[in-house]
């Protein structure tokens, strides 16, 4: 099984790729944080807590710009189901950096049930 950090970067890639090239590191971190939030909610479903995902989607629907956020949410849910359906590790602590070549580097702690 690949490192959780590699799985998260692969999973979040379509949402990250939508960002303009000059997007700040802080915004990229926020997008990764959002992707990890959705990933963990999906893992909670696997761990027997289906309410986590529904509650998260309901909360997102109340935000300003909800259609953009819920669109990203739906793409992330689909991506997890397509590419990482059997990965039931949650993400604990994590840190993201940008390498000298501009690519993202992610360190993340995997957590099991």
> In the prediction, which pLDDT does 74 show?
94
pTM above 0.85, yes or no: yes
Backbone torsions φ then ψ of 106, nearest 5 degrees: -125, 130
For 8-60, the pLDDT digits (tens) are 999 999 999 999 989 998 999 999 999 999 999 999 999 999 898 999 999 99
What pLDDT does residue 43 have? 96
* pLDDT given for residue 56 in this prediction: 92
For 72-107, write each residue's pLDDT tens digit. Answer: 999 999 999 999 999 999 999 999 987 888 777 999
The C-alpha atoms of residue 32 and residue 41 are separated, in whole angstroms, by 14
CA 18/CA 69 separation, integer angstroms: 13
More confident residue, 113 or 44: 44
Contact assessment for residue 80 and residue 92, using Cβ atoms and an 8 Å cutoff? no
């Amino acid at each position: 099984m690949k490192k959780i950090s590699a799985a998260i970067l692969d999973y979040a890639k379509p949402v990250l790729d939508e960002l303009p090239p000059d997007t700040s590191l802080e915004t990229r971190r926020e997008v990764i944080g959002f992707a990890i939030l959705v990933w963990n909610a999906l893992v909670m479903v696997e761990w027997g807590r289906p309410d986590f995902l529904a509650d998260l989607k309901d909360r997102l629907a109340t935000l300003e710009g909800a259609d953009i956020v819920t669109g990203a949410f739906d793409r992330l849910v689909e991506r997890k189901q397509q590419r990482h359906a059997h990965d039931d590790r949650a993400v604990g602590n994590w840190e993201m950096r940008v390498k000298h070549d501009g690519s993202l580097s992610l360190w993340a702690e995997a957590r099991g049930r």
